[in-house]
Amino acid sequence: NAGVMQNPRHLVRRRGQEARLRCSPMKGHSHVYWYRQLPEEGLKFMVYLQKENIIDESGMPKERFSAEFPKEGPSILRIQQVVRGDSAAYFCASSPKRTGPNEKLFFGSGTQLSVL
Amino acid sequence: GQNIDQPTEMTATEGAIVQINCTYQTSGFNGLFWYQQHAGEAPTFLSYNVLDGLEEKGRFSSFLSRSKGYSYLLLKELQMKDSASYLCALNSGNTPLVFGKGTRLSVIA
């Protein structure tokens, strides 16, 4: 079984451009989570989605950031008008159902976003 | 909210045993996870604890004391490939996993 697939692996953008990060969850998983990781920092939760629904976006900045998980296709994390502070590793994780005591998250290899 | 504390860095010798501590404060608790993350790679699941006590899985064991808000990850017979960051993560029930900043372990010969 394929794991969580993220692409691109590396993304370079200039300030003001848009960045689109894609995540295909593991087969059979309908829950997707996006986390951001800065150097020397932990994984910071951004947004949690199920198919066609945003369940929790409490960790996502209100401006410039958006996320979707359409009925067909991968989940997309979109960052508009990127700034240097957006440079980070963005990890996607999936689970078969909402994370409970025995549910673990399966992570993709991440997208390293560099803003010039 | 939740707060998780782990040491930033640790160094240990190949073949030795190392204990990585994690303390936490949380209003709700459903479980505590440990993940391993090699530089530039995805975090991978190591263990979880829901009840107090020790969970052993090969060279890795994890301990939990809910009353003390304390967990540790024990790595035995250290190998060079164990050099990685170890992330403690809380499941508080209604929110996605909250991660600590991680402990970067260096295994030296």
Taking only the tens place, the pLDDT of each residue in B9-60 is 999 999 999 999 999 998 888 899 999 999 989 999 999 999 999 999 899 9
| B97 vs A40, A105, A112: nearest CB | A105
Q: Is B90 in the A-facing interface, judged by CB distances under 8 Å?
A: no
Is B105 or B93 the better-scoring residue by pLDDT? B105
B54 has a chain A CB within 8 A of its CB: no
> What ranges in chain B are assigned the alpha helix state H?
none
Q: Are strands B9-13 and B103-108 parallel, antiparallel or unpaired?
A: parallel
Percent of chain A whose pLDDT exceeds 90: 78
For residue A63, with 0-12 CB atoms within 10 Å meaning exposed, 13-18 middle and 19 or more buried, which class applies? exposed
Q: How distant is the Cα of A80 from the closest Cα of chain B, in angstroms? A: 25
d(CA A44, CA A34) in angstroms, rounded, equals 9
Q: Which residues contact residue A73 at a Cβ distance below 8 angstroms, ignoring those fewer than 6 apart?
A: none
Q: State the pLDDT at residue A41.
A: 82
* Number of neighbours of residue B85 by Cβ within 10 angstroms: 20
Smallest Cβ–Cβ distance between B31 and the set A45, A48, A101 belongs to A101
pLDDT band at B74 (very low <50, low <70, confident <90, very high): very high
SS3 of residue B6 by DSSP: coil
Q: How far apart (Å, rounded) are the C-alpha atoms in residues B15 and A96?
A: 37
pLDDT tens for A68-113 read 999 999 999 999 999 999 999 999 999 887 665 557 899 999 999 9
Mutation target to probe the B interface, by most B beta carbons within 10 A, among A7, A49, A105, A109 is: A105
Separation of alpha carbons A113 and A110, rounded Å: 9
Q: Are B92 and B27 in contact (CB under 8 A)?
A: yes
Strands (E), A31-84: 31-37, 43-50, 53-56, 65-68, 75-79
